[in-house]
Structures are given as C-alpha cells and as structure tokens.
Structure 1
Amino acid sequence: MDVLFMVLSFVALTNGATELLKNPDFESTSFSGNWVCKSCVVSSSTDSFHGNLSAIISQRQHTLSGLAQTIHVSPGNRYVFRAHVKLLNMARGRMFHDVKVFVKETIHGHDQQLDFADSPMVRTDSGWVEVGIDFQVPNNVQQVNIKLQIDEPGVNYLVDSASFRLLPYDANWKAEANARINSIRKAPITVNLHNLHGSGYQVEIQQTRSKFAFGSAVSATKIVDSSQHAYQQFFYDNFEWSVLENALKWRQIESDSIFALEDTRDPFTTTGHPNMDKPMTAVNALRAKGVKVRGHNMFWGTHIPDWINGLGQSTLIQTMHTHINDVISRTRGSLEHWDVYNENLHGMFFENHTGHANITMEMFNWIHQAEPGVKLFLNEFAVASRGRMTTAYKQQAVGLKNAGVPLYGIGIQCHTNSHLDITSLKYRLDKIAEAGLPIWITEFTVDEADEGLKADALENMMTLFMSHPAVEGVLLWGFWDGNIHKHNAALATGSNVQPNAAGRRYQQLFHQTWRTHVTKSVTGSIVHATGFMGDYTLNIKHNGHTVKTQNFTLDKGGNTVTVNL
C-alpha cells in the first residue's frame, strides 16, 4: 500500500467522527448560539481558508480577549480541536506571535484550565496557519470551552475551518499495527539456484541489518573507554544507529577546548578554538563497527556558549558560519544526519539575537552548502508525549518544506512513561506526518519504575512506531542506568550492564520479532521467502556444509537473488 495513502487514511479516521462545533466553517454570518467573542468583536470576512467566509476578530480589549465556543462532551473521552488562523497585523516590536488554544472546564461556576497548546512562531506572512490540540476530558466534566487567544490585544486575526471531534479509541490497534508492519516493513525474497547437483540442499537467509533504524544515544567517553567493555558490548549487540548524547553540542566542544588547554577560565563564558577530538574519536570508533551516527546538534536555542550572548547581530551570524565550518570540517562524511536547530519552538535565541525571523531556514541552507550529502532534521519535544505543540511543529515543517529548504526529516523526542495513551500518540504521529516528510523518533525513553509496566509500554510504543509508514527509525536516549538522564528509563542495569525486563523485551523485538532468519530445504531451483527489509547473508548448504555465501539487500519491491553453484 502507498505510504502517503496510508498516512492520509489514518487522518480520515479522525475526520470521519461527528462534528461537534456549531458553525465550524463560519459560513453563517450569525454567531448567535455558536461562537462568542470575549471582550472583542467577531464579524464575517470574505478572506477564507475554505468555503466563502471566515470570522474576523477585532477590537480586542485585553490579553484574554478571543474567540470561543462551549461544547458538550462525554466524560473520559478524548477529543481533537483544530482551526485555521491568519494574522492581519503584528504588534509593534514583535517578530512572532503565539496563537494559543485554551481548553477550560466549568465546575461549580468556576473556570479551570484543562489544557492548552502553543503555536509560537506565527507572523502575518505565514498566511493561514493550522492551530490545534488533542486532550482527554476528566470523568466529571460534561462540557468544555475552547478559546483562541493572542496575548497582544492590538493584533486582529481571521479564523476559519474549525473542527471539534471525538478521537475514538481503537481496541484492535495492536493487531492493526502488526498487520501494517507486515505490509510496509517486509518484502518478498526469491532465490534462483543454478547448477544444482543432486539433493540435500538448504538455503539459510539471515538478516544482518535492519532498514528500519534501531539505535541509542551513547556517551562519547564510555564508548571508547577500555574499562567500559560491558557498556560497549551491550550497545554493539543491540543497536545499529547511534547519536552522541552531548559531545557534538556547541557548548560542549567549546568547553572541551578550554579544558584541553588546561585553562582556568570559565569554559562556558570564554571562547576558545573548538575541540572536536572527543566526539570524533567516538564517531570513528562507532563507524569502524558499522554503526551509523546522527549529529546532535549544530544549534540549540536554549543551550549556547554564554560568550555569544553579547555579540552584535552581524557578528553573531558570522560566528554561526564559523561554527558550522569548524564542525563540518571535522565531521564531513562521518555523520548521516544533523539536528540543525534543536527545540527552536521552545527557545528562539537565534531569531531574537540576529533579528532574522527566518534564521532557521538560513541554518538549513548554510549546513547544506557546507555538506550537501548529510540529511538535515528538525528536532523537538512536547510534540508526541504531549499535544501542546504537535500542530505547530507540523506547521513549521510544512513552512520549511514549502520554502524549498533542504529539510529531510522531522525528529520527534518522545520522553514519556507507561501512562502515555496509544490513541493520543498515534494521533500526534499522524498529525506530524501530514507534513509529508520522514519521521525519526530521535530520543525515546519510558521513565517507569515498575519494570513490567515499562516493558509493556516500550513494546506498545515501539510497535506503533514500527507500524507507522512515515517513521524510519527509533533511537533510545540511553540504555544503561550508569549513564542515562532518567534512571528509571534504563533497559540495562549494574556494572555488568545486564538487561532488565524492558531490556529483554527490546532484545526480543530487535533480534527476533522484527528480524528475519529463515532456513528452507531446496525442492526445486527456486526458493521463495518474505523478510524484513535490510541487509542479508545468504548461505547455501549441501548436506550440512556451506558451499556458497552471498550478500544482498532487501528493499521495497523485493529482491531476486541468483546463485550460481
């Protein structure tokens, strides 16, 4: 089945639910009994996203002024709200505006906030922007109020094509996910055998590498430390992709430079020449073992060397160019990916300090020019484990893609626990997949003290990721309790790095459930099989002795392997 069709079919499931908003498309010019504009004026406009009319929100009196509607809901259920918004003007001195969606409940006459979502990078030149949120209604709530809000009261805006629908729970989700895995992750194998002599032949088809990426973050120090053999062995036995947890970050390579010079200056406030020795030693060791490495990260708006804070706009831009050139000159040809601007929806340092609203686009273009072959990513949190910025993240990816920026894929950080609802997680993946770009789960942890709950949650989420047609890989954010940000997220524990229940569940998925090992007796000259896409070794045995070994790669459409004996 076509991947894009599958993604769109997922979305259609939600869109097929009954619309609960009144006048959702604003085609009626009467707002009585449907939309309420709190401390503002709502009227009709012919500038529409869909249909003939939209709503124009003006004469806002204060920060809390905004368009709202109250909807009757069923307690305990999950719902999705979305709308399309277009800013008509910008407040003085503002580069962006944050369009917020608030979900409130009314209990005993008092409003209480249930949830909210942000779209923090909206401008007039953004045109129509989708905003939205998914959330669960508490068991004691039967109606909620949805409100759109922009903090600056002088900003007028349009709203169109709104929707509020039930997000239905699918009790058969796992069976459906496993069916999708068999459909989109496997392909047919045909082995043509020539010059057989007699009987007693066997074909062994052994997968040696998965096309779907299974990886983990690693410590740049421990992965090359001769005293950390157990740590290294667990990693190399169970993962095929890696990312250095910290060692390639700008702040770290500057501090390593100072320490390498045995300087007593503050490593975070004084610039030195970047020291790339530690990360490159680790990268080279990983690649020597056949492990592919992601680059994390070139820029990060909330974690920067402090010395760049005082730079003027033009000096900062030049410093950014220098940083890219310094890093790429050492990493060129060694990394598969770069996270270009980490978590920029949560920290827009470079926009604010350069004065360039489109600096993210420039970052992608600069890195692409420095190394055209590396795949470039966004990377963000609170877009899968929470729904706060899911829609905003999709919109950012769509904007970069439509602008022709060399954006390969969308990185999703999913730091969660066993309570993350699969229905919500699937919706968020589907929403981000609407951008039409590959998705990588770049940072995945299940922070859970109960090992049984952690194992089950890890299996369920990994199954969902593996089954989603847009997802190309999953990297854990660490695996050992001796080197991991969240101790209860570890898959292995103790000085011998022994797998716990969650670790054993992961190993079962990686080595058995989603791995192909087939042995077939030869009864003719053609052998048929089906396998997970990836790299393979084919062994032909005659009366138990290997007489031919051949390697091949299995991708979409399958592979026919011809063996001459």
Structure 2
Amino acid sequence: MTSTVRLWSVACLVMLTSGELLQNGGFESLDHWICWGAGMQCEVTTYKHGGSHAFKASGRTASWMGPSQNIQFVPGHSYRVSAWMKVFADHPDQSVDIMVDITFTDGSHQYEALVTHYNVKASDGYVHLFGVYTAPTKPIQNTRLYFQSAPVPIDFLVDDASVTEETGGHVTIADLNHVIDQQRKSDIHVHVSTASVITKGDVKIRVLQKKKSFPFGTAVNAGRYNANLAGGKYRDFIHKHYNWAVPEGSLKWPFVEPQRGQQNYQPALDMIHRLRSHGIKVRGHNLVWSLPHFVQNWVKALSGNELRTVVKQHIQQTMSKTHGLLEHWDVNNENLHGTWFQDRLHDPDYDLELFRIAHQADPNVKLFLNDFNVVASGASTNDYLEQAQQVKKAGVGLSAIGVQCHFGDEVEPDISAIKRRLDTLAGAGLPIWVTELDVMSADENRRADFYEHALRALYGHPAVEGILMWGFWDQSHWRGEKAALVKGDNLQMTAAGHRVLDLYENQWMTDETHTLPHSGNQVSVRGFHGDYEVHVIYQGTELSSLRQTFTLGKGPHSVSVHVQK
C-alpha cells in the first residue's frame, strides 16, 4: 500500500462506534434470541468462540433457519456488524451469512445479507464475519437480524455477535475533490521570457489538455460493434468518449468454445484490433468463470486430469491468440462466489494454479481477481480482502483486484460507504480497478445523480487506478434503459449521459488561459494527468511556432517559451 493510501485510510476519516443494538450477543443463554424456523433445535453449547457458551442451530430444514433477534435500524445510518460462525459439514459453495429482514412502514420487506463468508468448511473452525452496512433511507418499521448457512441447511454455531451504530466517517464532495486534486493532478509551470519590445500584458498562455491518462472505459458488445450498428453511432461513441474498453462477452469461454473443439475468437479479435487502432486499450474478461451456471455442459462432463488439461489448453490458447493485444486478464471470474472448478477437482488451491498457468502464458499481462458485492454493497468486502491477500501471498502473478460496482435498482450510491469499502480492499496493497460500473433509475435525472456520486467516490479514492462502465446504450446494456447514458436508434443523450461526459470531458480535463503577469515570468496551472499542448497567444493571435506538447504525470512539469516579434 502506498503511503498516500495509508494516510487516507488512517487519518482522513476516523470511524467511531456507539450503542450495542444486540442483546446477549455472547449467547451465554437463549435470552432475547428467537429460534427462527419450525422444528429447528436451538441450544447453548460450550463449544464456544468466546465467553462460556455459543448458540447451536441444528435440525434445520431451510437455509434461512437460525437464531434471530429484532433490532431497530435508523434509515440511512451505518452499522458495524460482526459475529463468529462455525459449520459442522462441508458442501460446495457453502457460505454463512448475517442476514436482515427489514420491514418498511408501507408494509414491504427487504431481505439482504449484511455480511457473507464464502467457501466455509468444517475444518475452518470459527470464521469471522465482519462488515459495515448502511440501512435504506426508506422509513423503517422493524429490523430482524438472523443467521443462516446456504445453500444447504447444515448445523452451525454462532458466537460473539455485535451490531453497533457507526458515527463519524461522513464523506463530503469536498473531501473527494481534495483527493482528486491531490491524486489526479500535478503542477504545470510555464516559464516565459519576452523580448524587450513585448508588453507582458499582451501575452496569454493557454494550457490545453488533449487526452486524459486516467482510464475511463466501457464494456463493448462485439456483435454490435463489428456490425457497425446504428449507422456507426455505437462505435463512434466509444471511440470518442472512452480510452479503455473490455469485451462484454466475446472472450468468455462459453462464447469462444460453446461446443468442444468449435472455437471462434474472430469476433473478439476483430473488435480488439479496431479499438486499438483508435488508441483504446483493452482488458480481457475472462479466462475462467467459476459460477456453475456459466460453465459449459461439455466442460461439466469432464473431471480429473482431463479437466485440468483442457482448462490449461484453453488458457494458453486464448492468451496466445490475444498476445500483445490486451493489458489485463480477469483470471477466475467471481471465484469468491463460485468455486465450480475447485470443487470438481477436489482442489481448493486450483484457483492459484489458474493464475500460474496464465502468468506463465504471458508474464506481461496484468492478472486480476474480479468480483461483486464488495463495493456497491459490503456483504463480501472483508471476504474479498482475505482472498486477495491469500492470492498475493502465493506469488502467482496477481497484479490488481477488480471490483464490480453494480448498484441496485433505485439504490443511491453512498459515497461514505464506498470509501470505507475501498479503504478495506486497499489493505491488500494492490491497485484497485472498477471493472463493471452501472447504476439504475427510471428517472434519468436521478440516474445522473447516481452516476455522479458513484464516479466521484471511485475517482476520489487513491487506490483506484481505472474505471470501466458495464455499457452505456439502452439497446446494448444488460440492465436496459434504467442504466443507460444514451438511448434509441440515434443514441440520444440522456441527463445521465450529459452528466457523466461533463465529468469526463469538462470537470476532469484541464483547459486554462492566463495572462502573463506584468511583474512575473511564470504561469502555473494544476492540471489533470494526460497529454497537453501549451499555446502562446500574443495580442489575440496564437504564435503557432511556439506551441509545445508534453505528457503530465505524477510529478510537476515545466515548459519554457520565449516570446518575440
């Protein structure tokens, strides 16, 4: 972790907690706890984590069965949630969860995981579930907290549970702008000398940014892109407004090889070559996807050494086909939430082998983890940190962590919560890339607010090194118009589109013109990182022979010009 990230994490916003909401969170008895689920057996046991006893739930017939207690969340307030749980049996994709059932004053319910710990095994003993949850802003009548294991109802223990309100740590737009100014900009000094006949007040210096260096990208549908859909407007929008891209689906194994031996990389390669010809860098998504429903049936029929060989051949061939064309690869997509390959091979460390294969196939490509519910929500944030630390420690070529940011339908991104979750993940000491960003709202002005809040929070965190949206056009977006920047056959700009492009191309780009001071010989500008031109204007006319270009990085840059008639 860089010193800047460490200072931001530790010094910028100190978290305070107050007021325990749970009663008898140590489970020294059954007092205050409801045995939630008919036929389930609830008891205290000495097989504890702390204190003298723990709660044991057995005879469960549904995943949601477990100890439950009614508490009260205040709309919009944040809560620090913690507990220790242990399972008594193993099952593929086994998780334990601290859940909540919120009843709103209008009678509606919201069921949500406050914290989830994935891939839990009996041999792990007690595992720690910890996270910070922000309650919905909608008026709340009652909150029921409960513990569960999924997907199967196995016996489990829970102990040392706690829910406390978190106060302080409120992030403002001013806080984010300060970080943006410090992290995304550097000083530009233009030193101007003039002939004796030149009046300094007649000299103006324009510092004009031509290209941004920070990656702002989008997912691209190869079929629509290659077909030059909408009269080329889809393709043109990408070329004009983004400097990074990621194939939405055309490099995924099920698309590349839906049937064994029937491979087709050409749609992806055609798109990648054209994107690169327009100066757009491309990341690869993904080599393997561990969620079972994204594994082809023919792959599911394999096992043992045959499966290992086929996977290795696929990775090697795919990275050979794309050699020199991609900057990144998501290696084992959403492996926190799905472990099909590890389970099929009975090898919990097979994910590390996948990284080794990919790294050996192309040591120059940066390899990523990529997962969800780690920033847009916080149920898996701490679990993801632990996974990143383990993969990093294994030394298998992990370069960065990708965070999907798919915010819920009509859910306003909480900039304070985003900051907290990014702080947590920054603890892995790895760069963070926002790989899949979208928000949802039927009201395009509200959608514009959502995108702005998310983008400011993400761009305003020093550990984030790139942001890619998961689409922008309603006719090519997995979430449709409610997430789109443009809509219709003519790609008509929505309020959300105007807002996002204003950030990208106006507020976060530099274009300043200053008159040379009568008593000085320097013009200074703090500019966003990227490619620049310096224009010298004398008596209203540019002296084109004095134009200079340069690239502004993380350090200051100086330019010298001499003005004469």
Coarse TM-score class (shorter-chain normalised): 0.7 to 0.9
Matched, 1:165 2:172: no
Q: Please, which moves more after superposition, 385-394 or 189-198?
A: 189-198
The counterpart of 1:373, out of the listed 347, 364, 368, is: 364
Question: CA 1:20 to 1:447, structure 2 compared with 1: closer, same or farther past 3 Å?
Answer: closer
* Cα shift at 1:77: 4.6
Q: 472, 475, 478: which one pairs with 1:482?
A: 475
- Map 1:5-404 to 2 at 5 A: 5-9=7-11, 12-13=14-15, 15-21=16-22, 39-43=42-46, 60=58, 62=60, 70=69, 72-83=71-82, 85=84, 87=86, 91=89, 94=91, 97-104=94-101, 114-116=111-113, 117-123=115-121, 124=123, 128-132=127-131, 134-136=133-135, 139-141=139-141, 144-147=144-147, 149=149, 159=159, 163-168=162-167, 173-193=172-192, 198=198, 199=200, 200-225=202-227, 228-254=231-257, 268=258, 270-301=259-290, 302-404=293-395
Equivalent residue, structure 2, for 1:262? none
CA contact (8 A) 1:40 1:65 kept: no
Distance 1:241 1:192 in 2: 34
Amino acid at match of 1:247: S
Give how far 1:453 is off: 1.4
CA separation in 1, counterparts of 2:193 and 2:159? 67
1:515 corresponds, among 499, 503, 509, to: 509
For 1:475 and 1:9, locate their aligned partners in 2 and report how far apart those are by CA, in whole Å: 29
Show CA shifts across 1:441-475 (max 9, x none).
Answer: 21122232222111122112211212122222221
1:538 to 511, 534, 555: 534
Comparing 441-450 with 70-79, greater Cα deviation is found at 70-79
Relative distance call for 1:225 and 1:170 in structure 2 (3 A) is same
Contact 1:57 1:66 in 2 (8 A): no
Cα distance, 1:317 vs structure 2: 0.9
CA distance in 1, matches of 2:527, 2:53: 53
Q: TM-score, normalised by structure 2?
A: 0.82
* Paired residues for 1:460-475 under 5 Å: 460-475=453-468
Q: Which residue of 2 aligns with 1:496?
A: 490
TM-score where L is the length of structure 1: 0.82
**1:242 offset after TM fit, Å?**
0.6
- Please name the residue that 2:525 is paired with: 529
The Cα shift of 1:225 comes to 4.0
Residue of structure 2 in register with 1:443 after alignment: 436
SS of alignment partner, residue 294 of structure 2: coil
> Do the aligned partners of residues 349 and 30 (structure 1) sit closer, same or farther apart at CA in structure 2, a change above 3 Å counting?
closer
Q: 1:204 offset after TM fit, Å?
A: 2.4
Letter in 2 for 1:546: S
Q: 1:364 to 1:540 in 2, by over 3 A?
A: farther
**Does 1:2 pair with 2:1?**
no
State the number of aligned residues.
537
- Note the alpha carbon deviations across 1:156-193, whole angstroms, 9 max, x for none: 66855x54222458887223322332233222222345
Distance between the aligned counterparts of 1:276 and 1:508, measured in 2?
Answer: 36
- Higher mean alpha-carbon deviation, 94-103 vs 60-69, is at 60-69
Contact 1:216 1:242 in 2 (8 A): yes
When residues 471 and 212 of structure 1 are mapped into structure 2, their CA distance, relative to the original with a 3 A threshold, is same
CA distance in 2, matches of 1:136, 1:427: 15
Q: Could you tell me how far apart the structure 2 residues matched to 1:105 and 1:284 are? A: 49
Given the alignment of the two structures, is residue 420 of structure 1 paired with residue 412 of structure 2, yes or no?
yes
Displacement of 1:122 = 2.5
In 2, the alpha carbon distance for the partners of 1:103 and 1:196 equals 74
RMSD: 3.7
Report the AA paired with residue 286 of structure 1.
L
SS in 1 for 2:438: strand
Residue 314 of structure 1 aligns to a residue whose secondary structure is: helix
TM-fit CA distance, 1:391: 3.3
Distance 1:152 1:243 in 2: 36
Deviations 1:532-554 (A, max 9, x none): 22332333445522223433332
* Partner residue, 1:561: 558
| CA distance 1:105–1:206, change in 2 (3 Å) | closer
Distance 1:501 1:304, change over 3 A: same
